[in-house]
Structure 1
């Protein structure tokens, strides 16, 4: 039976996973769709660990849809260590032949692996390596009778979890892999803005073992192409703003809809002054709507609002779907292609939370009227 490990103890499952790796001919590592540097870095480092434990295993990294621009340098490093990366658009090919061991990395729900979720029943066993506070693993368990969880929300990133795994297994990582892991941590913590004592301890150990911080930072530093800037402009032009009142506190919320770069859009809306930003995208291939959220880093605000559990879960309960995340960032895939209807329900949920104290922000535009 599926059970969430509320005490975050995963060492027993790690021992079982070690045994599974040693006995597997084929291993498929699956990060979330449109992998970010944390998802790809942890997947690549994990592939190195797999080869260290079983150098005869055929190890593949299968990325649904693709990867972010920030991942290109990491992907080049990854290929240096014989980790084959396959981008899955529609056809999975023969990746899931011979019932491989499947490891989901930085994945909070099956909706995050898109078309790959329909092939997980071909896996001999499924393991999840993840750090998200909110997640829905029940549907993953249904795909496999043998399900392992190596989940620790106390750690800042999946890269940090994989580094902990390497230490526990006594596997010494080369300098490039150490720098890759550091890059994943830098990315997911927003350059250590969201960190715990373990984050700084592990970062210190990475440096002591040979990682160069500047090299790691360069791995996730790129010049954004012009179309990313255009996507942000569209995000601003399309967005609508609201104010809700919880008790004596006003909370400013933005909503927008874009075709790509939702995370950049949401982060930009937060930087303009909003407390919470929701950005929706219609997923035509999956007949669904994807919503991501960002929340301003404010301890008082984070105590009052838990967006995934208080808001998105209500949408999931109504339409179906799944998701996960942290109090400051996360998302969900909602099983409805009607993005407008989903956003209207989102506004209603926010209004109910505020007991009707919700107002749309409106100002006359320049040269209007």
Structure 2
């Protein structure tokens, strides 16, 4: 479902409703794009409202909220949901990414806004706004323009931050992305884009001790498979699996698959070099396919995706490797 006048009219009615509480829900370890998009929608909505992160938010996203110096009701962890409410799932294409949310029971009050690979299951929601954009913040900016609401300095700053991080500092940006950022910069008369980027980069350089150790262990436990033109690596950590996979692809691997096991929950992060994406490799499709075999959820982007499931993480990682191997063979890479 794309943006058009009918959907925007319905969305406007939902956002402006003062009788029902609004939950803006973000995914596991929510990134800046998710939190910034939720923040913008939160700010234009009347009370009662909250941003809910059932499985927590990332440190970089938390830094953004602090930087904005704007009172926001953000709740992490389990809460009791009001039945008579509207629920917004932001920047998520897998229901497993938001914990034990009662998806089927809330379909008639559920709004989903996302830019990842389309999920057919989400089409049963009240509104499913899915656009081919490099970030969810770009979609939210379009929504704000359609609604004719005032975009203040803090909303603009948040949306730019989400775009910067989700495009890897514009590495994956489209021309339309740059146009959106330029328009948002008009709301920031005394702020330079370079300063926003620098602010977003600085926390990533200040690795805490636990992250450093996790990354060291990821490389210590790493194994690889050489397919000629493609080098696949896999590893296992207790946490920071996304950071580990990203670091491996940025340094030595063409495809990195890193798993983490927490009790019965298995989490897998996958990263793929851009040249393979251009050859037809799609990490999101592979993760979704493998996740379905383990009764889990998977998805994301062609170059960065993940899986959440209940089961043995080693078995899931091996299944992902097998699927990449088959895909590479089929594409004759």
In 2, distance between residues paired with 1:280 and 1:11?
Answer: 43
1:232-264 deviation digits (Å, cap 9, x = unpaired): 11110111111225xxxx211111111111121
Which residue of 70, 73, 76 maps to 1:84? 73
Q: How does 1:1-369 map to 2 (within 5 A)?
A: 5=1, 8-23=2-17, 24-50=19-45, 55=46, 57-77=47-67, 80=70, 82-88=71-77, 91-93=78-80, 96-115=81-100, 117-118=101-102, 121=105, 125-132=109-116, 134-138=117-121, 140=122, 146-153=125-132, 155-210=133-188, 212=191, 213-220=193-200, 221-222=202-203, 223-244=206-227, 250-284=229-263, 287-298=264-275, 301-309=277-285, 311-335=286-310, 337-354=311-328
Shift of 1:13: 2.1
1:314-347 deviation digits (Å, cap 9, x = unpaired): 3223222222211111112234x21122223233
List structure 1 segments (4+ residues) > 3 angstroms apart after TM superposition. 8-11, 350-356
In 1, distance between residues paired with 2:26 and 2:211?
Answer: 23
The structure-2 alpha-carbon separation of the partners of 1:346 and 1:11, relative to structure 1 and needing over 3 Å to count, comes to same
Shift of 1:351: 3.8
In 1, distance between residues paired with 2:49 and 2:76?
Answer: 14
Shift of 1:219: 4.2
Matched residue of 1:97: which SS? coil
Structure 2: state its 5+ residue gaps: none
Shift of 1:69: 1.4
- 1:315, 1:334 within 8 Å by CA — same for their partners in 2? no
In 1, distance between residues paired with 2:181 and 2:38?
Answer: 18
In the superposition, the TM-score normalised over structure 2's length comes to 0.89
Shift of 1:275: 0.9
In 2, distance between residues paired with 1:150 and 1:92?
Answer: 26
- 2:283, 2:300 within 8 Å by CA — same for their partners in 1? no
In the superposition, the TM-score normalised over structure 1's length comes to 0.81
Question: Which residue does the alignment assign to 1:367?
Answer: none
Matched residue of 2:302: which SS? coil
- 1:62, 1:87 within 8 Å by CA — same for their partners in 2? yes
- 1:302, 1:328 within 8 Å by CA — same for their partners in 2? no
Shift of 1:354: 4.9
The structure-2 alpha-carbon separation of the partners of 1:313 and 1:86, relative to structure 1 and needing over 3 Å to count, comes to closer
Shift of 1:169: 1.2
Question: Which residue does the alignment assign to 1:363?
Answer: none
- The count of corresponding residues between Structure 1 and Structure 2 is 324
In 2, distance between residues paired with 1:283 and 1:15?
Answer: 43
In 2, distance between residues paired with 1:112 and 1:275?
Answer: 25
- 1:32, 1:105 within 8 Å by CA — same for their partners in 2? yes
The structure-2 alpha-carbon separation of the partners of 1:118 and 1:104, relative to structure 1 and needing over 3 Å to count, comes to same
Aligned-pair RMSD on alpha carbons?
Answer: 2.3
